[in-house]
Structure 1
Amino acid sequence: MKKKIIGVIPPIITPVDENENVDEKGLRKLVRRCIDTGIHGIFVAGSNGETMALTQKERNRAIQITLDEAKEQVPVICGVMDASTRRVIENIKELEQMGGKVAVVTPVFYARHATQDETVRHFEEIARQTEIDLMIYNIPPFTGQTLTPQTIFKIAKIDKVIGYKDTTGRFPDFLQCLEHFKGTDFVLHQGATNLAAASLLLGADGYIPSMAPLYPKPFIKLFEYGQKGDIQKTKFYDHIVSLTSAIWPMAKSQTASTKYALSKLGFDHRVVQPSESITNEQMKAIDKKMAEIEKYLAENDLLN
């Protein structure tokens, strides 16, 4: 079995209108840019896509629009995270009806008592209820639980679980996973962009950078040279990716700063309430940073 999902898989934002409904035209434009610029896949309805802030109806619309626009030209992985096993299963059933092929599943959240064993049972029951592939998503700030490498190893044995996105920032844990799954078809993605270069050089199958649709070339080059083991060129492109990632903290809300930067592609930067909107001062700071980055990219023939 060949690995199905490798490379640069950005967790795309969800453009919304004044009523906080999905801006279909804007979302299609974003998906089309990802595909046309050579990005390897798309993660829709993730945390960067404000998936838990959207209504369930609008979350499903975002997924359906993305699947329709992508038309299987690239893999689309879809967030189905929720607060209980039954709710996740219902989300997956709706995803199945939309033609989705891969569901991204976190531990449950809000349930502060959740244990590692509960999360294993969570995946076991979900796998029994679906025929599509599942990916583990470890994102402790949003779930309140850090899955250990040993738990990942257990979940990976469950039928239909094909891969893992690690957004813990715990690099030694990720290294354990790289060693454990070496030579297998299990897919390992680094979710912390600042750890992408080292992870790729050491064998990761890809990474999940939210800013990749803005400046795709350096993000793609980082993956290519990381996979080849070219340390010098990997460091060069990692530097550019790091410059771009500096945009994230330039507003109080990372979502607001990310959406504002990506709105330069041609859609509104509205965030879903109660997230704080970006201020005019923050916009000016991001504009200045982007101008610096684009000058550097142009000098190195890396602007798409």
Structure 2
Amino acid sequence: MFQPKGVIPALVTPMDQNGNLLEGALRRVIDYTIEGGVHGVFVLGSTGEIYGLDHEQKKRVLEITVDQTAGRVPIYAGASEITTRDCIKTARLAQEVGGISAVSVLTPYFVTPNQEELKAHYKAIADSTNLPIILYGNDDKTNVSIAPATCAALADVENIIAIKDSSGDMTKMAEYIRLTKGKEFSVLAGRDTLIFGNLCYGGTGAIASTGNIVPSIVAGIYDAYVAGEVEKSLELQYQLAPLRIAFGLGTFPVVMKEALRLVGIDVGVTLSPVQEMTKENREKLIEVLKTLNVYQIK
């Protein structure tokens, strides 16, 4: 079974003012991140504004990603919808396009299923596709938590192979790792400040939105760790932290798109109602990017 590992950037979806896909910009982001040394690419995630894309746009993002990646790294795709039915529809779309290594499914949002309902939800999605499934918990965004015991139970489903944990709760992530030890199951950090911590506890990497902007630094945390260069890995984690924290300078996910523009890749706008960053906060972001030696716009 496929094993998710390494650093996989959750890519933005470039769009113009009218919400049209900027295909050339998406290809540039894919090349930029792969050339930066990442170990996979992830599209149609929350950073990719899946919630604002229609069916044809989702399909086109998948097609472009498969074409541009050209087998260089594994491709992960989001299938994060509110209902089980719609998650299945998007997962099947990824399977139909082909070339996708695994599908990530966020817990439902707006509705708040209990743990038994979550188990049934994920089992139904897993049964609907031949693709490997990655559970995805982001407690702050959805107000739904995947309990460690629920994760351990779902890890016994043949094609549920991993969890991405964006809770920011190190104890919870450690419990995911402990309770699935010995199973063919991976635990990925979804909070970019905890990649090093994930690896120390026995996790296998991260799905990290900062990888859009500084792919070599983020990938370096993993590469240094697996090479036994633990101090270097920790130092790179320290370097990365201010950028991840700077994501709070604007409404999600506008800071990622603005940061990409500031490193030389124009990925257009964030879907309304999200507005541009304030001038003051943009200047703060610029200072962080200068510290990381990636600021390009003069």
What displacement does 1:266 show?
2.1
State the shift of 1:183 in Å.
Answer: 3.9
1:66-102 deviation digits (Å, cap 9, x = unpaired):
1221122211111111111111111122111111331
Equivalent AA in structure 2 for residue 169 of structure 1: G
| Structure-1 residue corresponding to 2:70 | 71
Q: What one-letter code is carried by the residue in structure 2 that aligns with 1:259?
A: K
Separation in 2, partners of 1:165, 1:139: 8
Query: Per the alignment, in what secondary structure is the counterpart of residue 240 of structure 1?
Result: helix
**Alignment-derived partner of residue 103 in structure 1:** 103
Unaligned runs of 5+ in 1: 298-304
1:149: Cα distance to partner?
Answer: 0.4
Q: 1:69 to 1:176 in 2, by over 3 A?
A: same
3-state secondary structure, aligned to 1:62: helix
Kindly state the Cα deviation for residue 61 of structure 1 after the two structures are TM-superposed: 2.0
Distance 1:292 1:37, change over 3 A: closer
TM-score of the two chains, using structure 1 as the length reference: 0.90
Can you list the C-alpha shifts for 1:31-50, whole angstroms capped at 9, x where unaligned?
11122221101111111111
CA deviations over 1:180-204 (Å, ceiling 9, x no partner): 2334431110111122111112211
1:204 aligns to 2:209 (yes or no): no
- Change in Cα spacing, 1:230 to 1:184, as seen in structure 2 (3 Å) is farther
CA contact (8 A) 1:201 1:229 kept: no
The offset of 1:26, in angstroms, is: 0.2
Show the 5 A alignment for 1:136-215: 136-215=135-214
> Is this contact kept in 2: 1:201–1:228, CA < 8 A?
no
> Cα offset for 1:221?
1.9
Deviations 1:254-302 (A, max 9, x none): 311111011233224411011122233333332233223218x9xxxxx
What is residue 300 of structure 1 aligned with on the other side? none
Question: Counterparts of 1:231 and 1:268 in 2: how far apart (Å)?
Answer: 34
Matched residue SS, 2:47: helix
2:239 is matched with which residue? 240
Kindly report which structure 2 residues correspond to 1:16-55, keeping only aligned pairs within 5 A, or say none: 16-55=15-54
5+ long unaligned stretches in structure 2: none
Tell me, in whole angstroms, the C-alpha distance in 1 between the residues paired with 2:240 and 2:287.
17
Q: Decide whether the 8 Å contact of 2:162 with 2:187 is kept in 1.
A: yes
Compute the displacement of 1:25 (Å): 0.3
Structure 1 residue identity aligned to 2:80: M
The residue that corresponds to 2:83 in the other structure is 84
Say whether the 8 Å CA contact 2:10–2:212 is kept in structure 1. no
Identity %, equivalent residues:
24
Q: What amino acid sits opposite 2:200 in the alignment?
A: L
Is the CA contact 1:178–1:188 (under 8 Å) kept in the aligned structure 2? yes
Q: Give 1:225's aligned residue.
A: 224
Give, as a single letter, the amino acid of the residue that structure 2 aligns with 1:29: R
Change (3 A) 1:242 1:171: same
Aligned residues: 293
Contact 1:45 1:79 in 2 (8 A): yes
List per-residue Cα deviations over 1:6-59 (Å, max 9, x = no partner): 101111111101211111000011011122221101111111111112233323
Question: C-alpha separation between the residues in 1 aligned to 2:17 and 2:67?
Answer: 23
Aligned residues of 1:53 and 1:273 also touching (Cα < 8 A): no
Counterpart-to-counterpart distance in 2, 1:272 and 1:24: 16
**TM-score under structure 2 normalisation?**
0.91
2:256 to 255, 258, 281: 258
Q: Judge conservation of contact 2:82–2:109 (CA < 8 Å) in 1.
A: yes
